[in-house]
Amino acid sequence: MISVAVVPELAGVRDPDRRILKVIVFMVGTGCGPGETYAVRVEDFNPSTNEVLVRAVEPGAGKTPARGRWVHLPPKAVALLGELPTGGRAFLKPDGQPFTLREFSGGQLSKQFRKLCEAASLGPDVVQYTLRHTWATWFSAQVGDHDLLLDRGGWAKSDTARKYRKKAPADLADRLYDHGWDFRARSGQ
């Protein structure tokens, strides 16, 4: 999916500034849902720690008070995000306009996301919210700290986090490292 989003025109998607790539990378790198991602402001980034404040109190940004949290961007995600706007919303639509914040707002990129999925040979069951499940699985494979998964994912209940974390092969952590993804708090620890 990320490889396709790097060259979206091959999938028939007009996104010359790779703004959809930034959304995908942020979501898979942090576990944020679409509404949370669309609400993030550039001012919420802490570049010295690669952390981003996710505010759940903003309409469209989250569903429960537990969703307000600090998320950590792995170095690979930071590199793929590249430059962001100088202020305001961090993630913009392909036309450069901010997303409209509303509950269940992932549909704002659904057509372009579907085209990228098809070009990446991903089935119709893969939607933007699937990236939250992917993050939970990848994070668990590398970090293995269920309490930290709850905190970073913004889940108030342990059983909810377990539903997001999928079964994974024993070598998933190593395969992710081989592709440059490292979800530990500090690379090399």
43, 65, 117, 158 from 23: Cα distances, Å: 17, 23, 14, 27
Q: Are 57 and 125 in contact (CB under 8 A)?
A: no
Assigned architecture for domain 2-178: Orthogonal Bundle (1.10)
Segment 62-95, tens digit of pLDDT? 666 668 899 999 999 999 999 999 999 999 999 9
CA distance 55 to 69: 7
Segment 18-43, tens digit of pLDDT? 999 999 999 999 999 888 899 899 99
Give the domain ranges of the chain: 2-178
Q: Whole-prediction pTM value?
A: 0.92
